[in-house]
Amino acid sequence: MHDRLFAGCTLLLCLALVVVGWAYQAPFAYEPVGPRAFPLLLLALIGCAVLYQLIRPSTGQHAQAEPALDRHVGRKIALCVAALLLYATAFEWLGFIPSSVLFAVAMARLYGASTWQSLIGGVVIAVGLYLLFDFGLDVPLPLGPIAALEN
């Protein structure tokens, strides 16, 4: 039940952000697809995921596996929100790869991965996403202090 409530709130938030983002026009475009394509694509993917979460059939086994909203779950939610805020804050000055590695490691550790799993997964995700955006989609991302290694 909690997952469907969360999915419904997320879907409403996605729809509101699509309405705001649809009208966005930047005074200049430095990417071939324009500045609004990435957020709208991301919102579409999130919307599809939460729609699935809302309409999927409920099973008795799934309902039993749902954790109660207790202090432990509340702590995880608060730490997740704090990590997201730190990621958004550090993104520009620390750069995409280092801040994404730190965020991925924090999320993996928060949800029970070992230190090595977290580190390897964080590095693979961050470098993979950087390569996808920089070379595949031609979207420049901030490199932060590691920009000196690029040349």
Q: State the pLDDT at residue 6.
A: 75
Residues 6+ apart with CB under 8 A from 61: none
Segments making up each domain of the chain, as ranges: 1-66, 70-151
Question: What pTM, to 2 d.p., does this model score?
Answer: 0.60
Question: pLDDT tens across 30-66, in order?
Answer: 656 666 677 777 788 888 888 887 787 666 555 566 6
Q: What pLDDT, on the 0 to 100 scale, is given for residue 65?
A: 65
Place 85 in a pLDDT band, splitting at 50, 70 and 90.
confident
- Using an 8 Å Cβ cutoff, are 122 and 102 in contact? yes
In this prediction, residue 86 has a pLDDT band, given cuts at 50, 70 and 90, of confident
Sequence-ordered list of residues with C-beta below 8 angstroms from that of 33, at least 6 positions apart, any chain: 137, 139
- Rounded distance, CA 14 to CA 42, Å? 9
Percentage of residues in the chain with pLDDT exceeding 70? 77
Cα 27 versus chain centre, distance:
26
Average pLDDT, whole number, for the chain? 78
- CA angle 95–101–104, rounded 5-degree value: 130
Three-state DSSP state, 146: helix
Residue 80, pLDDT above cutoff 70? yes
What's the pLDDT at 67? 65
Q: How far is CA 20 from CA 26, 32, 41, 48, in A?
A: 13, 21, 14, 19
pLDDT of residue 124: 93
